């Protein structure tokens, strides 16, 4: 329907808005505070911004869409929203979860170095003043133009604080040499600076169930686990929980004291840090070895458990192999593969 050169876009058959022609569907939705995941800024490269077009443009799929969409997805009407120009009225279907994400402005309230390469940012929300999220979810932080970086971009970071503190969130961010996002965060971002982000995003969060809980993480994968554990403490969650955390040596370990306190606060929680290559000066008497081997030694395949993993794809794949061999059910394993 054309109205003053604008086209009506219907979302999930219950929300309508009018958009100026010429922009991409991704941009039009973002203008309505509907944040479709996208890692490439609308260049058709990442393939993340899929939406189902129910009615509307019958323009042929671009070569980028044909690369990213399976034949089945094409049959179902999926398109990359960044490749669909708004040139007529259309109706689209998106997961309801996308409606929960909003854009936020926040102030850097604290900066704390957790290790030689991991930093914690505390953000105090300004507008809107609170963020409702599930423990384990992430936000996308806007990296502004700085130094020679002249293009806005976004970087995904898990929230490390519990949902009970909706006016302040914490992020734990690992320094990546020459990284566009972390160079900004470690070299340019200062206390009291303001930042923009949108969220919450993601389906990595603690499920309700009567089963035990196994958490496995490494590096900045600590962030969602900390959020989950603090949330469990506040909700007096009684479930038996084991948290395996892998680090190379002692200087890569962090938040150990906080985890030990949680052992006292939660009814049946054990934190099991493991060093894969402890140094002689580390005086380490705890678990040693790669984290999947430590997990293999500790977990009991006769006890049903929900397992949550966050870390590098290699670490997660290795742990998944162990869990599968031990008979853990695929549908009770949840992971965030750093992607």
Partner 1 sequence: MKLSKKLVAITAAMQPGQIACDGFLGNDPRSLAAIMAADQAAVNRIGLSHRQIARRMIEFRDAGQKACGDWITIPPRWEVRVDSARGKLLCPFGDPGLYPKTSITVRDIQNGTEITFTDLHIHLIGRHGFYEGSGCAFRVEPARLAEVLDIN
- Residues contributing to the site for partner 1 (CB under 8 A): 39-40, 43-47, 63-64, 67-68, 145, 147-151, 155-157, 174, 176-181, 183, 218-220, 246, 248, 276-277, 290-292, 311-315, 318, 338-339
DSSP string, 115-152: SSSEEEEEEEEEESS-----TT-EEEEEE--BTTB-S-
Closest CB 211 distance from partner 1, rounded Å: 26
Quick one: 45 exposed, middle or buried, by C-beta within 10 A (0-12, 13-18, 19+)? middle
Taking the least distance from each CB to partner 1, the nearer of 188 and 235 is 188
Residue 183 corresponds to which tokens in the numbers above? 């160079």
Q: Tell whether the torsion through CA atoms of 170, 185, 152 and 94 is positive or negative.
A: negative
Taking the least distance from each CB to partner 1, the nearer of 88 and 249 is 249
Residue 243 corresponds to which tokens in the numbers above? 């948290």
Give yes or no for a contact between 233 and 271, defined as CB atoms under 8 angstroms apart: no
CA atoms within 13 A on the CB side of 228: 28
Closest CB 62 distance from partner 1, rounded Å: 10
Closest CB 26 distance from partner 1, rounded Å: 16
Residue 5 corresponds to which tokens in the numbers above? 């050169």
Taking the least distance from each CB to partner 1, the nearer of 147 and 264 is 147
Taking the least distance from each CB to partner 1, the nearer of 166 and 289 is 289
Closest CB 286 distance from partner 1, rounded Å: 16
- What's the distance, CA 80 to chain centroid? 21
Taking the least distance from each CB to partner 1, the nearer of 145 and 251 is 145
Taking the least distance from each CB to partner 1, the nearer of 157 and 269 is 157
Closest CB 180 distance from partner 1, rounded Å: 4
The rounded distance, in Å, linking the Cα atoms of 65 and 168 is: 39
Closest CB 138 distance from partner 1, rounded Å: 9
The rounded distance, in Å, linking the Cα atoms of 214 and 243 is: 6
| Residue in 115, 226, 131, 229 with CA at minimum distance from that of residue 173 | 115
């Amino acid at each position: 329907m054309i109205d003053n050169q604008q086209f009506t876009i219907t979302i999930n058959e219950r929300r309508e808005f009018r958009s100026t022609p010429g922009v991409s569907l991704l941009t039009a939705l973002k203008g309505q505070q509907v944040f479709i995941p996208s890692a490439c800024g609308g260049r058709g490269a990442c393939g993340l911004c899929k939406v189902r077009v129910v009615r509307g443009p019958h323009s042929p799929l671009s070569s980028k869409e044909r690369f990213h969409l399976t034949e089945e997805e094409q049959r179902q009407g999926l398109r990359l929203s960044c490749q669909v120009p708004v040139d007529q009225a259309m109706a689209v279907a998106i997961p309801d979860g996308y409606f929960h994400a909003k854009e936020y402005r926040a102030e850097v309230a604290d900066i704390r170095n957790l290790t030689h390469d991991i930093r914690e940012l505390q953000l105090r929300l300004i507008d809107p003043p609170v963020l409702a999220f599930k423990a384990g979810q992430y936000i996308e932080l806007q990296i502004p133009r700085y130094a020679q970086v002249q293009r806005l971009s976004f970087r995904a970071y898990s929230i490390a604080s519990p949902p009970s503190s909706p006016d302040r969130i914490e992020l734990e961010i690992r320094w990546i040499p020459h990284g566009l996002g972390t160079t900004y965060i470690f070299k340019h971002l200062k206390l009291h600076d303001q930042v923009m982000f949108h969220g919450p995003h993601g389906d990595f969060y603690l499920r309700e169930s009567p089963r035990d809980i196994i958490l496995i993480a490494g590096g900045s994968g600590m962030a969602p686990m900390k959020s989950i554990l603090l949330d469990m403490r506040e909700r007096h969650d009684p479930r038996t929980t084991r948290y395996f955390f892998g680090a190379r040596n002692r200087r890569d370990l962090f938040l150990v004291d906080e985890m030990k306190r949680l052992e006292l606060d939660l009814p049946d929680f054990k934190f099991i840090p493991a060093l894969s290559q402890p140094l002689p000066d580390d005086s380490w008497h705890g678990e040693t070895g790669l984290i999947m081997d430590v997990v293999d030694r500790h977990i009991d395949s006769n006890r049903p458990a929900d397992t949550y993993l966050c870390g590098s794809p290699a670490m997660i794949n290795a742990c998944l192999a162990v869990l599968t061999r031990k008979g853990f059910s695929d549908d009770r394993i949840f992971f965030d593969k750093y992607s």
